Structure 1
Amino acid sequence: MRKALCFASLLLVATSAHANEGQWQPHQMPEIADQLKQSGIRIAANDLADLSQYPMNAVVGLGYCTASFVSPKGLVVTNHHCAYRAIQYNSRQQHNYIQDGFLANTLADEVHAGPSERLYITESVTDVSKQVTENLPSEPLKRYYAIQDNRKALIKECESDENYRCAVSSFHSGLEYYLIKQLIIRDVRLVYAPPMGVGAFGGDIDNYEYPRHAGDFTFLRAYVGKDGKPAAYAEDNVPYTPKSFLKINAKGVKAGDGVLVAGYPGATQRYRRASELKFAKEWLYPQQANHYQKQLDIIDRMSFDNEALAIKYAGQVASTANRMKKLNGLMDGFKATDIVGIKEQQQQAFSDWAKTNAPAVLDDVAQLEKLLADKRERQQTNLFFDNAQNSAMLKTAANLYRWAIEQQKPDAEREPGFQQRDEKMFVARLKRLDTSYDASMDKALWLMELEAYQNQPHRVAELDAMLAEGDDKPLEERLQAMYTLTRLSDSNTRLDWMNKPVQAFQQSADPFIRLAVALYPVTNEQEKREKTVWGELSKARPAYMQAIIAFNKENNKPVYPDANRTLRISYGTVDGYMSADALYKQPFTKLEGILAKNTDVEPFNAPKKLLDAIKAKDYGEHMVSELYPQKQSFLCRFISCDSQQPPFNSVPVNFLSSVDTTGGNSGSPILNGDGELVGLNFDSTYEAITKDWYFNEEITRAIHVDIRYVLWMMDKVDNAQNLIDELELVK
């Protein structure tokens, strides 16, 4: 039975995966120009490949999400959950913007999004594979450092202007490297965020589920100095003028329309080995899910009836709950579809091909599997020790000590993250701790990690020595003493430690600094081993990937790199899907669904003014009568298309499409065939979570906020006319 299932799945891949699968690099767009046209994309493929032109120069990164410019005054739109840190940073008990929302009616009312918030505008992507990989030594650790030195040299040359941030990113597991140059906007401000009851309507219950009714959008603004150049936050800074901004199509899309998504997807593992998937499925993901659940339970217990504490940890709760739901979805997906079996059969087909076409790669595969087995063993050994260092105070002390150590070296020899180029962000993270740290919560979370560490066999003598100090008292009391004695909870003290020498750390009486100093030799040795394995993998993986690419091309399969937080484009169709036997999910939801779901109890507690506007059917020009043409590529397979569809007669809230996305695509603009904004990506369906490992076209769908709902909220609910006037609307 299993073999039959796997064969059917392989057949599905072979016959349909070419249609929408692919998180393409912009320069690849001309290669798939015909597919784009067939999907209803009218904008020229060459225009999509040009990062200096509309629409790609309007797409920006946040470092963890995606956003886009939508006005000539630097107005940016992204997801509510992507702007959560900015909303949390400005929330207090007396003005809780998380719960109540925020709207600046004038530029003067816009507030600082926080010291660590940035916008990154990608201006160029250059192939530097030869510069990075030519004449590398064979010894693994030396190879690692040679690659890193080559990357750092390219970055230093690229960053001759301090307003730019550059990176050399690996593609196809080190087969290719690209130098990415981004303009940094360092003054970001919060402009308009709906209340939690809109932006996260349905909360974790609805997360990854469909139908959805979330208004997951927020507006930010980019500011620069009066000279037009990027600058740190200052009250007299002025709005940034982008090279272009997205036009907004107020008519939106209908079922069957072709759409594009452009953004910065985080990480996929579609080219990983079956052994890696099996390890994640059977050990890593269950461990992580259990760990995250314990964290959430502690935060929920301690922040209950404590609004100030809930605000401080709101961002951590949201991100942890999202990871938790995704892990559960992955594990459920592996039960529903034998993806390990599918990958094993795909690998066997590749091996059969390689015996004739690339026999040398089979030795690389054997070496790769050996390295991966060693890597898995070390992950299992080190997991609890790594988690036992998850105190915010301990991590701060460790980072400060490492900063002091690295400052003893010439800048070019310092580790990434501790170079001169990293100082501003390092300082920003130290400052941000003021709004996201509480000693009692940090202690409770750390105690949980330490107790888990003590209950497993793989121990570290240096950490055990700390745990043994004063062991006549309960561990919780000993930890409390550490939090009482440390001064690292003070922002000025943390910043002052950045200027102190290594000797000061080694002589410090601060308990967290003492522990960081004691653990450094252990963590440094672990890091050295990781670098050695990385160096070994830098030989095995590229050779394997080169053969995989040749195999895929010969079999007419799409060839694109795994996601790695660099700018990508995907295309697809506005389309529903069969989520289960006899259960078809249509692509659009509407306002009335909010009324049906609303219970006035979190997370289904929409604001009264929103509910009143829906009840009054105050749709204005945003109402849509028809969204389902009689001829649809997917729906007609499951229902009769000969009969007339009932009129929609409402405002669309969310919609589905078959574009290929993953984490990091949150906030990405959804563009119609002419490159106009019609929605914002914010989630995937539960059945599609396993797409990070395996793309199944029939059930893989992404969920988007419909731009008509955003405009309706601005117009009829929150009276954000000042912002509507900034937008260029296509009606």
Structure 2
Amino acid sequence: MRIALVAALVLSSGFAYGDEGQWQPYQMPSIADKLEQHGIKIPAKQLADLSQYPMNAVVSLGYCTASFVSPQGLVVTNHHCAYRAIQYNSKSEHNYLENGFLAKTKADEPSAGPNERLYITEAVTDVTKQVMANLSADPLARYEDIQTNSKALVKDCEADDNYRCEVNSFHNGLEFYLTKQLIIRDVRLVYAPPESVGGYGGDIDNYEYPRHSGDFAFLRAYVGKDGKPATYSKDNVPFTPKSFVKVNADGVKAGDGVFVAGYPGSTSRYRMTSELKFASDWLYPTYASRYQLQIDTIKAMGAGNKDVAIKYAGTMASMENRMKKLNGLLDGFKATDIVGIKQARENDFLAWLKQDKGANQALVTELQSLLSTQHQQLQGSYYFSNAQSSALLDAAKSLYRLAKEKQKSDDKREQGYQERDMKMFTAKLERIDSSFEASVDQMLWQQDLNAYLAQPLKEAALDKALGITSPAQLDAKLASFYQATELNDQAKRLAWMNADTAAFEASSDPFIALAVALYDANMAQEKAEKRLEGELSVARPAYMKAVIAYNQANNWPVYPDANGTLRITYGMVDGYQSKDALYKQPFTRLEGIVAKHTGVEPFNAPSKLVDAINAKRYGSHEVENLYPELGTWICRLFSCLDEAGKFGSVPVNFLSSVDTTGGNSGSPVFNAKGDLVGLNFDSTYEAITKDWFFNPTITRAIHVDFRYILWMMDEVDNADNLIAELELVRN
């Protein structure tokens, strides 16, 4: 028992806590002391400057993060982030999802797809005063005023068509920042391992650890010969980034300080306890039930049809990931009384607030009342919204809405329907073909309609338009929609972008007719949601202002919830105690791949990879001992040495205490000097609830070790041409 205790203590390296905070870059100087405590040597002021290394090399894919790794526009991200690009180029005769892809020359690099983009953030500006200027007291008008002010700022920012700008809310509407991003419109696929490497372990290992996933892929940014962004053309040339990250071939060890830069999607840490209870009691279970049915349906329909399997591969991967996360959230709420913890914190906040005589004591009551209305609103609209889930109906609704919005001046149009949005609007319509099969779409839609018919909250417009009262009538009715529509033809679908409202209202296409019939009901629902958002735009900021003051009084970190904008988080390479008597080491290694290998998906590693491991062909990427602080006797107990007394392997994945969430996928993991040492791709199962509450003892992020990436490129796939592009450095 004493040996086990000593081993656990030594293995933990003395670092038992995660590091909370998804910080805006400008905040870095304010936490410079914390960075120094973690051994991070790169100056905080440098990290705050988006024009300097390494922040000017970090880019967004719109849904994931990536980074430039060469002066020739080479970009590295996760395999699952490049999934659409791989899927786009996969056919039955050359399935790159199954077999992987490597372009040996730039001429061999295919387009990642007409809809793929890279976004390079060049400036982030505080525009709170401009957004909040001259707001109406009426909730709906207030909402519209905020949108109008934001759109005006965006329009000025996008004077150059090569830029995409967006106004984002921080601290629930207390602050607003304008982000300006350069758009790269020609993105190409360069290198991706097979899915049996990139997604090794599949859904079984998703959010789990130990992990052995080679979740990486390389893309390349191209521009016109004049150096400006351009759509795909054979004449385009590789983009020259302002900087690119150096790759540290020696990597990191347990206890090293690291930091991550990326675009985390969303967190809810400042939400009220009632919101957490609503999510755990109704929202998440309801979502999970629907997702599981959809997953089972797509899997069954794709089992005997390879084309369907390829088309819906990205959809399946995304849905399975969401499903695992939902289950993790629900399990986490059961395992740890997060509702109780947040309620205790909230009670303490309320007691603190009462002591402040100048505080608005009614702000919490007002917010709670609005949240109750919001929850009722969501429950009331959920099944009606899902009953419109067909991809073709969604296209028809968007097209008719576009015709309606075109009747207004551009500045008065709804966001998503302005002239600035037309390229993305077109791309969305085009993208339908790559992940659409009529039989699958009909089945999924029919399931949502069954759920709608089975509950009491009906919408008269939908019932009248469909003309059905029972599930038994659905199959024939929906089949007639898909047989009679022309929206499954891309050219005809795109042609509707130029039609006026009269053409839609006279159309006999069943999907368009249904979109027209549902328009008023959908707009009424949208109007109610906007009015409520207008009321919340007063209540939430007032609440947040008090919460921030409370946090500051307790010397707790104050950073905004994640909202898809550029953030930095720091931490250390470290394992964790996942449960009683189970400590998880921070590194996994090649031998773990072979130990899991069964030859059956998802543990079906490629034979050339298994052969290289069995032959101990480690090359220059071998690490003799990832745990030099351990004595030989302890290491033998924990099987971290081979028979010769050496580590003798290559690290595959590693853990750190950085604070990440969805959207951080593909984010570069930097060492103390700012060298690239890994790619973020997941969190541990125990840490999923960090979207609501950060538990420092168990929160760990999972990263691909770049030494494994280099080993794959060198010893398995012979990607010498790409290795030559990288700037490799040593400690």
TM-score, with structure 1 as normaliser: 0.95
Alpha carbons of structure 1 residues 298 and 111: separation in structure 2 relative to 1, 3 Å: same
After superposition, what is the alpha-carbon deviation per residue over 1:435-484, rounded to whole angstroms, capped at 9, x for unaligned? 11110110011010101100000001111113326989731111111100
Q: Identify unmatched segments of 5+ residues in structure 2.
A: 1-14
1:257 aligns to 2:256 (yes or no): yes
In the alignment, which residue of structure 1 is the partner of 2:621? 622
| Cα distance in 1 between the residues matched to 2:136 and 2:159 | 29
Q: Which amino acid aligns with 1:179?
A: L
Amino acid at match of 1:530: E
CA distance in 1, matches of 2:56, 2:48: 11
Residue aligning to 1:451: 450
Counterparts of 1:414 and 1:545, CA distance in 2:
30
Offset at residue 362 of structure 1 (A): 2.5
C-alpha separation between the residues in 1 aligned to 2:661 and 2:190? 26
**Deviations, residues 655-701 of structure 1 (Å, cap 9, x unaligned):** 00000000000000000000000000000000000000000111000
Structure-2 change in CA distance of 1:361 and 1:116 (3 Å): farther
Is the 2:450–2:471 contact (alpha carbons within 8 Å) kept by the matching residues of 1?
no
Question: Considering only aligned residues, what root-mean-square deviation do their CA atoms show, in Å?
Answer: 1.8
Shift of 1:255: 0.3
CA offsets, 1:365-407, max 9 Å, x none?
A: 1110000000001111111111111100100100111111111
- Cα deviation digits, residues 350-370 of structure 1 (max 9, x gap): 111111226533211111000
The separation in 1 between residues aligned to 2:85 and 2:361, in whole angstroms, is: 50
Moved more, 288-297 or 463-472: 463-472
Separation in structure 2 between the aligned mates of residue 188 and residue 491 of structure 1, nearest angstrom: 22
**2:216 — aligned with what?**
217
Paired residue secondary structure (1:234): coil
* Alignment correspondent of 1:55: 54
CA distance in 1, matches of 2:630, 2:493: 63
- Is contact 1:361-1:544 (8 Å) kept? no
Secondary structure in 2 aligned to 1:362? coil
Cα distance in 2 for partners of 1:317, 1:20 equals 32
Task: Give the match for residue 96 of structure 2.
Answer: 97
1:648 aligns with 647
Distance 2:506 2:523 in 1: 20
Q: Distance in 1 between matches of 2:471 and 2:647?
A: 70
Cα distance per residue 1:11-58 (max 9 Å; x no partner): xxxxx9996100000000000001001101000000000000000000
Percent identity over the alignment is 66
Distance 1:343 1:361, change over 3 A: farther
Q: Which amino acid aligns with 2:152?
A: A
Kindly provide the amino acid, as one letter, of the partner of residue 439 in structure 1. A
Contact 1:260 1:569 in 2 (8 A): yes
Q: Does structure 1 retain, via aligned residues, the 8 Å contact 2:18–2:699?
A: no
Query: Which residue is 2:579 aligned to?
Result: 580
Find the residue that maps to 2:713 and give its secondary structure.
helix
Q: Distance in 1 between matches of 2:145 and 2:21?
A: 32
SS of structure 2 residue aligned to 1:683: strand
Per the alignment, do residues 267 and 170 of structure 1 end up closer, same or farther by CA in structure 2, a change over 3 Å counting?
Answer: same
1:361–1:547 contact (8 Å) kept in structure 2: no
Map residues 358-397 of structure 1 onto 2, 5 A cutoff.
Answer: 360-397=359-396
Does the Cα contact within 8 Å between 2:22 and 2:559 map onto a contact in 1? Answer: yes
1:674 match:
673
- Equivalent-residue separation in structure 2 for 1:648 and 1:550 (angstroms): 50
**Contact 1:358 1:547 survives alignment (8 Å):** no
Superposition map of 1:204-353 within 5 A: 204-353=203-352
**Contact 2:18/2:700 (8 A) holds in 1:** no
- 1:158 is displaced (CA, Å) by 0.3
> Alpha-carbon deviation of 1:132?
0.7
Inter-partner Cα distance in structure 1 for 2:469 and 2:377: 31
Structure 1 residues 686 and 445, CA gap change in structure 2 (3 angstroms): same
State the distance in 1 between where 2:357 and 2:583 align. Answer: 44
Contact 2:18 2:697 (8 Å CA) reproduced:
no
Change in Cα spacing, 1:340 to 1:721, as seen in structure 2 (3 Å) is same
Partner secondary structure for residue 647 of structure 2 = coil
CA contact (8 A) 1:66 1:78 kept: yes
- Equivalence map 1:402-481=2 (5 Å): 402-468=401-467, 474-481=473-480
Counterpart CA distance in 1 for 2:575 and 2:337 is 24
- Give the 3-state SS of the residue equivalent to 2:498 in structure 1: coil
Residue of structure 2 equivalent to 1:45: 44
- Whichever residue aligns with residue 428 of structure 2, its letter is R
CA displacement at 1:617 relative to structure 2: 0.4
Deviations 1:224-246 (A, max 9, x none): 00100001111111100000000
**Which residue in the other structure is 1:127 paired with?**
126
Matched AA of 1:29: M
User: 2:647 & 2:451 partners in 1: Cα distance?
Assistant: 54
Structure 2 letter corresponding to 1:604: F
Kept in 1: contact 2:18–2:698 (CA 8 A)? no
Structure-2 separation of matches of 1:380 and 1:254: 49
Paired letter, 1:45: A
Name the counterpart of 2:705: 706
SS in 1 for 2:652: strand
SS at match of 2:425: helix
Secondary structure of the 2:40 match is: coil
Structure 2 SS opposite 1:92? coil
State whether residues 122 and 183 of structure 1, in contact with CA within 8 Å, keep that contact through their aligned partners in structure 2: yes
Determine the structure 2 residue equivalent to 1:11.
none
Which residue in 1 is equivalent to 2:164? 165
C-alpha deviation, 1:630, in angstroms:
1.9
| Aligned equivalent of 2:513 | 514
Letter in 2 for 1:492: A
| Aligned-partner Cα distance in 2 for 1:647–1:174 | 55
Q: In structure 2, the residue corresponding to 1:112 is in which secondary structure?
A: coil
* Whole-angstrom distance in 1 between the partners of 2:135 and 2:495: 40
| SS of residue matched to 2:704 | strand
Aligned-pair CA distance for 1:188: 0.4
Tell me, yes or no, if the aligned pair for 1:656 and 1:704 is still in contact at 8 Å: yes
Provide the rounded CA distance (Å) in 2 between the counterparts of 1:365 and 1:247. Answer: 49
For 1:164, give the aligned amino acid: Y
| Closer/same/farther in 2, CA of residues 37 and 99 from structure 1, 3 Å limit | same
Q: Deviations over 1:465-504 (max 9, x none)?
A: 1332698973111111110000000010011000000110
One-letter amino acid of the structure 2 residue matched with residue 411 of structure 1: D
- Amino acid of the residue matched to residue 222 of structure 1? A
Unaligned runs of 5+ in 1: 1-15
What is the distance in 1 between the residues matched to 2:70 and 2:178?
A: 29
CA offset digits 1:292-325 (Å, max 9, x no partner): 0000011011111211110000010000000000
Task: Tell me the residue number matched to 1:503.
Answer: 502
Give the counterpart letter for 1:300 in structure 2. K
Matched position secondary structure for 1:703: strand
What amino acid is the match of 2:621?
Answer: H
* Residue pairs, 1:478-489, within 5 angstroms: 478-489=477-488
Aligned residues of 1:68 and 1:668 also touching (Cα < 8 A) = yes
Deviation at residue 619 of structure 1 after TM alignment: 0.2
Mapped to 1, the partners of 2:348 and 2:222 lie a distance apart of: 54
Aligned CA distance change for structure 1 residues 400 and 244 (closer, same or farther; 3 Å): same
* Aligned amino acid, residue 244 of structure 1: S
Could you tell me how far apart the structure 2 residues matched to 1:589 and 1:62 are?
Answer: 28
Aligned to 1:86: 85
Q: Is the 8 A contact 2:118 2:187 kept in 1?
A: yes
| C-alpha contact 1:97 1:195 (8 A) present in aligned 2 | yes
**Structure 2: which amino acid aligns with 1:450?**
L
Return the offset for 1:434. Answer: 1.4
1:697 maps to 696
Does structure 1 retain, via aligned residues, the 8 Å contact 2:18–2:659? no
Letter in 1 for 2:416: G
Cα distance in 1 for residues equivalent to 2:106 and 2:447: 45
Contact kept? 2:266, 2:691, Cα under 8 Å? yes
